[in-house]
Chain A
């Protein structure tokens, strides 16, 4: 009996997934639990496993195709079994074809009156402005004046490269890198779904959000002492500096709510919750699981939660919900021996904290004596559309205050 393989819902917010790669071909035998296709969402990469033993009878969604949750992806069944593509997919195909048939509208050339005036409806004019289309480029209309549908039709048929330099268009044109011909000995490897998603999101962020990075150095002697003390007392928790920073950043964000915000159209959304994303490096890329409501949690709770999330990240077991909803991100490259770096904002967040390694340095203390101290670089990249330097500086200096003297968090 044929079994339908459908797009799973990997989180509450997931509405569709993209077929990244087929791991099996039609006719290949598959075992129950064996991955048959790799899918990506805007947040994660995952594999769909076969629910039964059998043969992959049909591939319904091709690579690169977006499939809604519960949409049909493939059919697995007995060898030689005949399958019929269900009505759902057939309907989808039919509805896709319908607009094409309707698109064959009778058009005629735009007539210009004396003085070169062209007739345009107010709505068409507004639509053209929004899409960045020069009305004089529109040559075909259905009625006596350019109407909205004429603008839309022109916009849809226009070659993509002519698109106005909007942010999303720039992202598209920036995405394809220059073509490099491999020479003998080179290894050619297709980009994984995760790499493609990371690439798209990083370019999008850099093009959309004007980044400014502020950097400062903090003396972490007291933080080290606190960590040592807490880790000695606690039996089941081994707290990392990142765990402590999650709490410190969350507390600081409560005092600078403008940095715990997202741009949405013409509005700024100031988030009630402080959800801190923690960048986790994997062999194949990077994921950012989220510690939700970090402002309400203690060091121990954050630490346990972060450990669990990182563990799941390494096993590619994170759910969509565990990857969604961050309002601010921390990326710590201290463990890789990095002094400081300029992190890229994870949109739609407004800021990201880049954390460098802890290094012993000579410091001039308040008595003008040179003493040794442990220093850590903190780099805050912020979205200049949302806040200006002064407010971002306020956040970074608050974080620095907490790092240098964690007792200040109780103020």
Chain B
């Protein structure tokens, strides 16, 4: 079994899809010669040529809009925002066009595009380059939202995202790009909407995604030493949400901590916790608790940034708060 970093795994997935389907193209800043800041499209220009590897100026609004149009004509663009923070100028093509086209045309037109965007804090990138922003997308009907935590999942999910006939937002945590992990042999696709129970436990369920899965597993190992048996669910896909996986776990452990890196206020963790309280109230033995980023502008100062987003110690504290131990 070979090991690959997440950036290499995503590269492999995209490469396989571009070989499989000539309608798949990549679009974005520095995608060609530089092969993107994280090397995800390195070598693609030589292999697939400028018609399928479209290097753009700094013009998120226009290249995103262009890709939505291309997708409506049957092309499968994989668009990259260099940072998810830049979605602001490109929100209209995503929110009002890509997400709504299938519905507003009565199914005559669909938009099979993927918007890839690095997310996350921890690189001292300050306020405009450190956000997660999942709720901007999960809030909009018509968009699917994926946020993998491992290289293997990232590859299988990017392939599923490319093959999906509707717009998929693919959020990649910058600090996961370099982390290597084992890869399955051969070709595989991981369906969207399937969570993964990465650790089984009976006392409390941690529901999370992306980089916080790693922190949750670390916290779970620590808590195990104190006799607290933690189950960790990696959602992998936020929309569609794997409700059955959540229901099964909550019905088993009866205590829930939802962990997200992004701002706590109006975050996706709040959505999950509301759904659990609406649907699984009688299963709960304690209030659902959120461990999340602080409601502040991401600081540049390293000690302040470290305090801004949750770490394993915060998760341990959250679990203990819920269990009152």
Contact = CB atoms under 8 A, between A and B. Distances in A.
Nearest to A120: B285
B324 A123 contact: no
A142 interface: yes
B282 interface: yes
Contacts of B324: 142-144, 147
Contacts of A142: 324
Nearest to B254: A123
Interface in B264-288: 281-286
A48 interface: no
Interface in B299-325: 323-324
Contacts of A125: 282
26 contacts: A121-B284, A121-B285, A121-B286, A122-B281, A122-B282, A122-B283, A122-B284, A122-B285, A123-B254, A123-B282, A123-B283, A123-B284, A123-B285, A124-B285, A125-B282, A126-B282, A142-B324, A143-B323, A143-B324, A144-B324, A145-B286, A147-B285, A147-B286, A147-B324, A148-B254, A148-B285
Interface in B101-123: none
A107 to B, nearest CB: 12
Contacts of B284: 121-123
Contacts of A144: 324
Contacts of B281: 122
A143 to B, nearest CB: 3
Interface in A106-156: 121-126, 142-145, 147-148
Nearest to B323: A143
Interface string B35-76: 000000000000000000000000000000000000000000
Interface of B: 254, 281-286, 323-324
A143 B254 CA distance: 15
Contacts of B282: 122-123, 125-126
Contacts of A148: 254, 285
A145 to B, nearest CB: 8
Contacts of B254: 123, 148
A270 B281 CA distance: 34
Given A145-B286, A148-B254, 10 more contacts: A121-B286, A122-B285, A123-B254, A123-B282, A123-B285, A124-B285, A142-B324, A143-B324, A147-B285, A147-B286
A142 B286 CA distance: 13
Contacts of B323: 143
A126 B281 CA distance: 10
A121 B323 CA distance: 12
Interface of A: 121-126, 142-145, 147-148
Contacts of A123: 254, 282-285
Nearest to A150: B285
A147 B254 CA distance: 10
A102 to B, nearest CB: 9
A126 B280 CA distance: 12
B305 to A, nearest CB: 33
B321 to A, nearest CB: 10
Contacts of B285: 121-124, 147-148
A126 B323 CA distance: 18
B79 to A, nearest CB: 44
A121 B285 CA distance: 5
Contacts of B286: 121, 145, 147
Contacts of A145: 286
B195 to A, nearest CB: 22
**Interface centre among A122, A125, A142, A145, by most B CB within 10 Å?**
A122
A56 B189 CA distance: 65
Q: 8 closest A-B pairs (Cβ-Cβ)?
A: A143-B324, A123-B285, A121-B285, A122-B282, A126-B282, A148-B285, A122-B284, A122-B281
A144 B283 CA distance: 18
A124 B284 CA distance: 8
Contacts of A122: 281-285
B202 to A, nearest CB: 13
Contacts of A143: 323-324
A45 B254 CA distance: 43
A147 B204 CA distance: 14
B168 to A, nearest CB: 36
A260 B162 CA distance: 56
Contacts of A121: 284-286
Nearest to A143: B324
Contacts of A124: 285
B255 to A, nearest CB: 9
Nearest to B251: A123
**Interface centre among A123, A124, A143, A145, by most B CB within 10 Å?**
A123
A306 to B, nearest CB: 48
A358 to B, nearest CB: 58
A274 to B, nearest CB: 38
A229 B281 CA distance: 70
A123 B282 CA distance: 5
A307 B220 CA distance: 63
Nearest to B322: A143
B267 to A, nearest CB: 24
A145 B323 CA distance: 11
B247 to A, nearest CB: 14
A148 B283 CA distance: 10
A121 B324 CA distance: 13
B278 to A, nearest CB: 12
B210 to A, nearest CB: 30
A312 to B, nearest CB: 46
A237 B324 CA distance: 73
Nearest to A121: B285
A143 B283 CA distance: 18
A99 to B, nearest CB: 13
A143 B285 CA distance: 11
A122 B254 CA distance: 10
A145 B322 CA distance: 11
A126 B282 CA distance: 7
B185 to A, nearest CB: 42
A145 B286 CA distance: 9
A113 B268 CA distance: 33
Nearest to A146: B285
Nearest to A124: B285
B12 to A, nearest CB: 45
A126 B285 CA distance: 10
A147 B287 CA distance: 11
A121 B283 CA distance: 9
A269 to B, nearest CB: 25
A100 B323 CA distance: 21
A133 to B, nearest CB: 16
B11 to A, nearest CB: 46
